[in-house]
Structure 1
Amino acid sequence: MNSKTPRGSQRPRLPESRNLYYGGEWKPANSGRREECFSPATGESFGSVAYGDASDMEAAISAAKSAFAAWRDTPPLERAGRLREIAAVMREHKEELALVDAADSGNPVAAMLKDIDIATSQLDYFAGLVLEMKGDTIPMGPDAVNMTVREPLGVVGRIVAFNHPLMFCASKAAAPLAAGNTVVMKPAEQAPLSVLRWLELIDGILPPGVLNVVHGGPEAGQALASHPDVAKVGLIGSVPTGRAVMQGASATIKDVILELGGKNALIACPDADIEKTAKGIVAGMNFAWCGQSCGSTSRVFIHNDIHNAVLDRVVEMVQAFKPGDPTDYSTTMGALISAKQRDRVLGYIEGARREGARLVAGGGVPDDPALARGNFVEPTIFADVTTDMTIAREEIFGPVLSVFRWTDEDDVMEKANDVEYGLTCSIWTRDLARAHRMARRAEAGFVWVNKSAAHFLGAPFGGVKQSGIGREECIGEMLSFTREKNIHIALD
């Protein structure tokens, strides 16, 4: 934010176009169905949006298929220029888009400004990689030329989550579009408004049918995953949804890219710096988003030698996160996406108490009357957690941190790995040999040492085990939206 950034609560500029968007046009849902959008923080209605089903998805896929050949044959640098133009529009309207995102998703507007930065960076990054889709030549002697070329797949489907509604839509469209594919996007069912405002702003930059957006529920998502004209489908969502997408994709043997859940470990070693480790624990939990992040390090293993000192500092630091109006630039922690999710999180908290975990911070809803209608939960920390407790094994997707005590390295690595997930892991130590050893043993796709929460553009992000398939945010993501073709030319 700069010195001109407004303070206090701001009214978002909501989209005027509330229909589905495909073939370069705004279309009502075929069924006429509309669903109302509500503020997670106040319960206020933001009006209704069109809610598509399988027939709408069919129409959007058809539009994408019709547009594919021309977009595939568009010179790569011209495709790159279109992506950069989208990024420029987003930067120009950064605060406006972040404010809509905050109002609709419940996340603080100050955090959503960073989401716009991430999305625009990825659009520019993949625009810069369009000339790297290179093939090879294979020596065959003087009488033949053998070479490979990379070609786009065709129509790509992407289904994204509610915790970063606009960032996910913009950034996850970037790689397939750069590679020459057309895209059908299903935005977050719970928070579609920022995406609709974004589409209003970028309408006309891409040729009709190149980017299509159908808001809807599971039926629309399943139609996208199983459609024979969709060459690949990507999902950011839960493990059960990932399984459903894989099952749908199997009907046509299409490739999938899945970023699913996480129950990620942060391991603090006895030589770790207490202050830096405490800051890393708090940052890793993503309290600003109410812990609604698949990469959150929600299980913290602190060595017995520094356990009490680190835990005391963490409890002090989380006091900086006060749930409040997400459209207020001073708010440090927003609301959960829905009343259902709030009640689910509170159920986990009550279950942890019953199972014997020691509550050291939070554990309830704010007592501020101004927040009474919102889906707020205090930042919550449990100590003396054991690996057999429910909060130690299941992804809560809320602001609940579980703290364990450890003394033996082999034992803590076994416990850190003893979950079905494997997305991220954070290790805190000043011992270089230990850092390498523990990082190798961690069953996770993305490991930080003396760091947490951060993503690095160009560094592959993705999980192992039940946390997903594929890598994103890197050149490998773009190449995954191409296929290799071998061409053999006989010269004699």
Structure 2
Amino acid sequence: MQTETPQFQNHIAGRTEPARAGRSFTSTNPATGAPWGRFADSDADDVDRAVRAAQAALDGEWGRLSNTRRGRLLMAWGERIAAHSEVIARLESAQNGKLLAEMKAQATVVREWLYYFGGLADKIEGRVIPLERQSVLNYTLREPLGVIGVIVPWNSPTFLTIMSCAPALAAGNTVVLKPSEVTSASAFELVRLAEEAGIPPGTINVVTGARAAGEALVDHPGVAKICFTGSDGAGRAIAARAGARLASCTLELGGKSPNIVFDDAPVDNAVVGLLSGIFAAAGQTCIAGSRAYIHERIYDQVVERLVQRARAIRLGDPLSADTQMGPAATAAQLDKNLSLVAKAVSAGGEVLQGGRRATVPGLEQGYFFEPTILHRLGRDNPILEEEVFGPVLAVLPFSDDDEVLALANGNRFGLAAGVWTRDLRRAHSMARRLQAGTVWINTYRAMAFNSPFGGYKDSGIGRVNGMESVEQFLQTKSVWCETSDEIQDPFVLKV
């Protein structure tokens, strides 16, 4: 049991540095409601030092490394993260309340991301352009953008950090990372392991803080690109601020993903997919399948099974192997869960299961919320539009393909969707017609390092994972070289 409050300072140019203004903030363990750690509360001055350190590394040792050597260092970093996955997972579970097993799995699997992008580092190539004038050699160089600002949320800190940092570093950029103020601790373990693996100090810098630190990073003229994962509201604000100085953004934002179950679906698999799509991670994931559209012929049987399974989910200490669902990460998120369920009910919806704060013996001050299922929802019910980011499932019947397609697409988000059917013709037709960046057929929440991920509509801009994510961290230079000694008189035209 923790007896002292851990203290964390910024990590800039390989050194531990307090916030220049001397301010700090406290994080909370959501399972107990008790203070957990204290962190530097950074401002624009701290961010400026971090950006300067990142630029110095880009101009210095990191920038002078060959692409192959950079790739090997990324791979070595992945090995060290995997070897320390238990330490990282415990830091994250204590701060965001997600299951230790899930956090450890994420900290282990990022090794595959770093191996993949490490392998891509020396596959970045220019090309020779065949010009009409054959004495001119024209070729392109693919060069890093510069310093990348990475802002990650609290729900999957290590996983989301690596999804942005791996392609950015593979492309030769350097990074200033601002983790969520809810889950800042694991970032320091990641940067320590990076430098232990041989990545030069200053290549990755960590500054902690809340909105002031994030805004300073977005506004800094030395930051070439912002990578942000979080709410669509914050994403809009970041894009506007970055755009004002012509900096680009990759934005992975919210979702309200539909999970569609047709009457010919493999029902057992579909039920598991619906449950894991919304109740895994206590619904605190952008790809949560929070809208379940179930064909009217099997609606009653599927909903009954969902309710039975939801009632049996074991809430508890996220560090315990017996726990199936942990708490909301923050008191604010718990309040949001309660508020949006109440709003849905006041608009005519009914609660089939849950809908209340839960009390866990021994953890009475924890931010636990019951697995919740809502039904009898009018099509204008706000729960079908707003992202809860909690364990709240809206279930609705449908009668045919066109109807459910209109329902599924009738939302401002377009991050992901699930389709459950044995009819492959229908499955692939739906995949084409659904307005979502990812469509899963007879599975849900699958992801891989080499498959692009990102959203349509209000769910974001750009893609992470896969080869195209590296492209988003590069700029192209065109080089022209005249190889002939022939004088080209600009006033003499040749036909």
Q: When the two structures are superposed, what TM-score results if normalisation uses the length of structure 2?
A: 0.94
Shift of 1:330: 2.3
Taking the TM superposition and a 5 Å limit, the aligned residue runs for 1:385-424 are 385-424=377-416
Q: Which residue of 2 aligns with 1:378?
A: 370
Please name the residue that 2:227 is paired with: 234
Equivalent position to 2:102, from 89, 96, 111: 111
Aligned to 1:82: 73
SS of residue in 1 equivalent to 2:141: strand
Q: Does structure 2 retain, via aligned residues, the 8 Å contact 1:14–1:193? A: no
Greater mean alpha carbon deviation, residues 377-386 or residues 137-146? 137-146
Which 10-residue stretch deviates more, 294-303 or 143-152? Answer: 143-152
8 Å CA contact 2:5–2:37 kept in 1: the answer is no
Partner of 2:161: 169
User: Quick check: 1:12–1:99 contact (8 Å CA) kept in 2?
Assistant: no
Contact 1:226/1:250, CA 8 A, preserved across alignment: no
Task: Give 3-state SS (helix, strand or coil) of 1:370's partner.
Answer: coil
Task: Report whether the alignment pairs 1:26 with 2:16.
Answer: yes
Q: Is the Cα–Cα contact under 8 Å of residues 191 and 204 in structure 2 kept in the other structure?
A: no
Deviation at 1:316, TM superposition (A): 2.5
Q: Which residue of structure 2 aligns with residue 225 of structure 1?
A: 218
Please name the residue that 1:472 is paired with: 464
- Please say if residues 265 and 416 of structure 1, whose CA atoms lie closer than 8 Å, have aligned partners that are also in contact: yes
CA RMSD in angstroms comes to 1.7
- Per the alignment, residue 347 of structure 1 pairs with 339
Q: Deviations over 1:446-467 (max 9, x none)?
A: 1111111111221110001110
Q: Is the 8 A contact 2:228 2:251 kept in 1?
A: yes
Of 469, 479, 487, which residue of structure 2 is paired with 1:487?
479
Q: How far did 1:200 drift?
A: 3.7
Number of residue pairs aligned between Structure 1 and Structure 2:
481
Aligned partners of 1:15 and 1:200 also within 8 Å: no
* Structure 1 partner of 2:34: 44
Q: What amino acid sits opposite 1:183 in the alignment? A: V
**Which of 126, 130, 142 is equivalent to 1:135?**
126
> Larger deviation: 276-285 or 359-368?
359-368
Question: Within 5 Å, which residues of 2 pair with 1:312-351?
Answer: 312-351=304-343
- What runs of 5+ residues in structure 2 fail to find an aligned partner? 485-495
Deviations 1:306-344 (A, max 9, x none): 111211222233245322111222221111111111011
Contact 1:149 1:484 in 2 (8 A): yes
Equivalent pair of 2:82/2:110 in contact (CA under 8 Å) = no
- Is it true that 1:438 corresponds to 2:421 in the alignment? no
Q: Does 1:448 align with 2:440?
A: yes
Q: Whole-Å Cα distance in 1 between the matches of residues 323 and 180 of structure 2?
A: 23
Corresponding residue to 2:63 among 53, 72, 80: 72
Q: Which amino acid aligns with 1:463?
A: G
- Preserved contact between residue 225 and residue 247 of structure 2 (Cα < 8 Å): yes
- Residue 387 of structure 1: how far off its partner (Å): 2.0
Match of 2:247 among 246, 254, 262: 254
- In structure 2, distance between residues paired with 1:442 and 1:178: 32
Q: Which amino acid aligns with 1:36?
A: T
Which residue in the other structure is 2:86 paired with? 95
Between 1:272-281 and 1:197-206, the stretch displaced more is 197-206
Give the deviation of 1:15 after TM superposition. 9.6
Change (3 A) 1:323 1:55: same
User: CA separation in 1, counterparts of 2:120 and 2:403?
Assistant: 43
Aligned partners of 1:485, 1:442: CA distance in 2, in Å? Answer: 37
Deviation at 1:188, TM superposition (A): 1.1
SS at match of 2:477: strand
- Residue type of the partner of 1:480? Q
Asked if the contact 1:104/1:194 (under 8 Å) is kept, the reply is no
**C-alpha displacement at 1:478, in angstroms?**
1.2
Who wins on radius of gyration, i.e. which is larger? 2
Greater shift, 180-189 or 44-53, is seen at: 44-53
Q: CA deviation at 1:72?
A: 2.4
Report sequence identity in percent: 37
Q: Give the secondary structure class of the aligned counterpart of 2:8.
A: coil
Q: Alignment partner of 2:287: what SS?
A: coil
SS of 2:373's equivalent in the other structure is strand
**Aligned-residue offset at 1:375:** 0.6
Q: Distance in 2 between matches of 1:341 and 1:37?
A: 14
Secondary structure of 2:362's aligned partner: helix
C-alpha displacement of 1:13: 11
